Structure 1
């Protein structure tokens, strides 16, 4: 019995508190370059097995789907979709999976030469900071984030309107 209790406790101690089955959140993403800052807002839906969907609502609508090995970007204002294989772009699932705790409520990881710092509140990701390969400082704030709530997995499947131009790389 004692061994079973120790095994259960060790699973909680060694488990990455950033792991999730599903994650939903509103977000704001600020990208700062040398002279300018642009802020995007929208909604995130992610499933640890199937992928993630970032619905950018402002300043311009854009739908970005991260599925296993592939990114689909739908741009309604241009009536186009871009489909490409994931090359050097980690998705949120990969960042959270690789992050290790550096102190209370702070995690860090390095993926493909980019250093990510994550802040957590009550076991849920709240902020992600990094400098991209172009030198832009990026801050993503997750608001009203919820882990392991039921989601409609159809939200993770790109729906490209028939009249859109499709660009593949």
Structure 2
């Protein structure tokens, strides 16, 4: 599943040499290129807090929110007025990802997690710049982070939740 891979991928930004902040916020551009070289580009904001909480707020081309606490994944598609909830069977083990990441070349790290290889690029300040990998459908996925802001402490819990009207359709996965 692309969303689970995305969350695992975001977790893979960690390594002994890549400093994991207590939280971060950034704009992102996600480019997915399929095996026929068709490209889809998404953009939005991402928030990370407390080693397990992620919130991806997609703005373009569709409005969508993806939130995870490492155990459950919630996908809110505002265009479809639909919410999908999934249990993540093994959770996201950030410690294992951290141990796998190795410096490949200047500012480039490689991590392998659950039989996937992730390429992680950091900027001159060792802040996350981009992540690339191939998903389960052999699509090339690249996420470019802009205006990265590292912070201390946990972000407010309410800011990490997906918000949606109660009349949206609910699907349990």
Instruction: State the TM-score, normalized to the length of structure 1.
Output: 0.82
CA contact (8 A) 1:19 1:96 kept: no
Structure 2's unaligned 5+ residue stretches are 1-14
Bigger shift: residues 44-53 or 29-38 = 44-53
Q: Which residue of structure 1 lines up, in the alignment, with residue 144 of structure 2? A: 141
CA contact (8 A) 1:41 1:59 kept: yes
- Between the aligned partners of 2:136 and 2:67, the Cα distance in structure 1 is 21
Deviations 1:140-167 (A, max 9, x none): 0000101115633311122231101111
Q: Which residue of structure 2 lines up, in the alignment, with residue 28 of structure 1? A: 29
Matches within 5 A, 1:7-86: 15-33=16-34, 34-86=36-88
SS of residue paired to 2:18: coil
Structure 1's unaligned 5+ residue stretches are 1-13
Count of aligned positions? 155
Residues 50, 35 of structure 1: alpha-carbon distance in 2 compared, 3 angstrom cutoff:
closer
Which gives a bigger RCO, structure 1 or 2 (Cα 8 Å, sep 6+)?
2
Residues 54, 94 of structure 1: alpha-carbon distance in 2 compared, 3 angstrom cutoff:
farther
Aligned-CA RMSD value: 2.4
Bigger shift: residues 103-112 or 58-67 = 103-112
Residues 152, 143 of structure 1: alpha-carbon distance in 2 compared, 3 angstrom cutoff:
same
- Between the aligned partners of 2:25 and 2:97, the Cα distance in structure 1 is 14
Matches within 5 A, 1:82-101: 82-87=84-89, 97=98, 98-101=100-103
Residues 31, 48 of structure 1: alpha-carbon distance in 2 compared, 3 angstrom cutoff:
same
- Between the aligned partners of 2:167 and 2:62, the Cα distance in structure 1 is 20
Q: Which residue of structure 2 lines up, in the alignment, with residue 158 of structure 1? A: 162
Could you list the structure 1 runs, at least 4 aligned residues long, displaced by more than 6 angstroms after superposition. Answer: none
Work out which of the two has the higher radius of gyration on C-alpha atoms and give 1 or 2.
1
CA contact (8 A) 1:130 1:137 kept: yes
